[in-house]
Structure 1
Amino acid sequence: MLEVRGIEAAYGSSQALFGVDLAVDEGQMVALLGRNGMGKTTTIRTLCGLMPARAGSLTFLGEDIGGLPAYRIARRGIGLVPEGRRCFPNLTVRENLLATARGEGWDRAAVARLFPRLEERAEQMARTLSGGEQQMLAIGRALMTNPRLLVLDEATEGLAPVIRHEIWAAIAAVKARGQAILIVDKNLKDLLPLSDTCVILEKGRSVWRGNPDDLAADADLQDRYLGL
């Protein structure tokens, strides 16, 4: 479904990615891992057209999407849940969801089943929601685009444990529907059991790709690249 090969990217004269490789197949969940500042968010920004790639290739559903603007990449089926949530603060929950609605499958009723509290707060302004509720809304908003690939950057960062549990349960339910997912998160205990493949970045390069069980069992590997 998605193939990223040798991607390089920079912020002005400061290069951030030096060769990132990863792939996501239909129905697969891939965890993108690494310490802070290793290039995870930059990889996602480049994939989603929010910053240009200097080199390498981006192929999605057999089409070269390198160089396409973000809105065209979104229309081709990549739904982003950005770091920091970034809900539309002056729109209600209902308006946030309707603003991105397209296609069939995920609609307001389906999102309400996934996150019942969003339906309870349907007419509430997004800026008044808790952080956990905003994350639920950001996920629901991305799903309302009916993406072929769902991308989550820092899926549970800064959330209380009870809310993290709800988010992970929702991600598991979304995956069970056959949704392809690319996810960044630091919580290996919850992340690895759901993932099919892991890719680790170190200083803007892909340095390891493998089975989540192998990563979970290798304390030296975790310590070397994840600082655990």
Structure 2
Amino acid sequence: MMLLDVAKIEAFYGASQALFGVDLSVAEGEAVALMGRNGMGKTTTIRAICNLTPPRAGRVKIGGVDIRGKRPHHVAKLGIGLVPEGRRCFPNLTVRENLVAAARPGTWTLERVNELFPRLEERHAQMARSLSGGEQQMLAIGRALMTSPRLLILDEATEGLAPVIRQDIWKAIRRLKEEGLSILVVDKTLSELLPVADRCVILENGKSAWSGKPADLTSELQDRYLGV
């Protein structure tokens, strides 16, 4: 079943158009890498999927439900767990409070998140603002999982993190995929991203420029669409 179906969406910030026709899909249990240089529309596409920046044209369906006219929190209830760029943990809440605040009935519990990220259990009474950047990213992922999502969306999953923390997060993402969770992930670390992805979608200037399997993403295509 196609869990996420995005067709020809266009999005604007005021009078400025940012997306000019993006096509994207994620099937049940599939991991899709959303790729492209900086400024090509990846974050705006994610915002459009969540209806934070509502598309003015095109279609977004989640589990067959059209999101047009739905408020972002209603879109989230369709099964979207968002890990936004910049993490955006609640700084004045403890680790445990951040996790519990997002909890919805389902497959994910505090115990499961602590088992996935033992560092969070060790720091459950600490304020989120006191965590390292990597620990905050773990908390942001854990918070999204506490909503028991059908689709986990990670925007810049490991940007700016220390190598050892990146390894921990990629290990967790691989495990989530093995457990059958659908994932849409943005990241620039191709050596870690491509082995996780079942398919890749590349954006250029706010449009879908290429899609295919990681094995088909040749060095020429990487230079054309992802090179500096």
**TM-score using structure 1 length:** 0.98
3-state SS, counterpart of residue 119 of structure 1: helix
**1:53–1:67 CA contact under 8 A, matched in 2:** no
Whole-angstrom distance in 1 between the partners of 2:177 and 2:220: 29
* Helix, strand or coil at the partner of 1:135: helix
Q: What is the one-letter code of the residue matched to 1:171?
A: I
SS in 2 for 1:37: coil
Residue aligning to 1:208:
210
Note the residue ranges of structure 2 that are not aligned, 5 or more in a row. none
1:32-47 to structure 2, matched below 5 A, reads 32-47=34-49
Instruction: Give aligned pairs, total.
Output: 226
CA offsets 1:169-213 (integer angstroms, 9 cap, x no match): 000111111000000000010010110000000000001000011
Match of 1:114 in 2: 116
Shift of 1:75: 0.8
Q: Unpaired segments of 5 or more residues in structure 1?
A: none
Query: Matches of 2:54 and 2:112 in 1, distance apart?
Result: 34
Q: Output the TM-score relative to the length of structure 2.
A: 0.98
Q: Does 1:225 align with 2:208?
A: no
Q: Deviations over 1:112-150 (max 9, x none)?
A: 110001000000000000000000000000000000000
Question: What root-mean-square deviation, in Å, do the aligned CA atoms of Structure 1 and Structure 2 show?
Answer: 0.7
- Structural mapping, 1:159-178, within 5 Å: 159-178=161-180
Moved over 3 A (4+): none
Which residues of 2 match residues 1-228 of structure 1 at below 5 A? 1-215=3-217, 218-227=218-227
- Give the deviation of 1:103 after TM superposition: 1.7
Return the letter of the residue paired with 1:22.
Answer: L
Q: Work out the percentage of aligned pairs sharing the same amino acid.
A: 67
Residue identity in the other structure for 2:222: Q
- Separation of aligned partners in 1, 2:134 and 2:95: 13
Q: Does the Cα contact within 8 Å between 1:149 and 1:180 map onto a contact in 2?
A: yes
Q: Secondary structure of 1:199's match?
A: strand
**CA displacement 1:24-64 (0-9 Å, x = unmatched):** 00000000000000000000001011111110000111110
Partner Cα distance (2:205, 2:69) in 1: 23
State the distance in 1 between where 2:4 and 2:23 align: 11
CA contact (8 A) 1:152 1:183 kept: yes
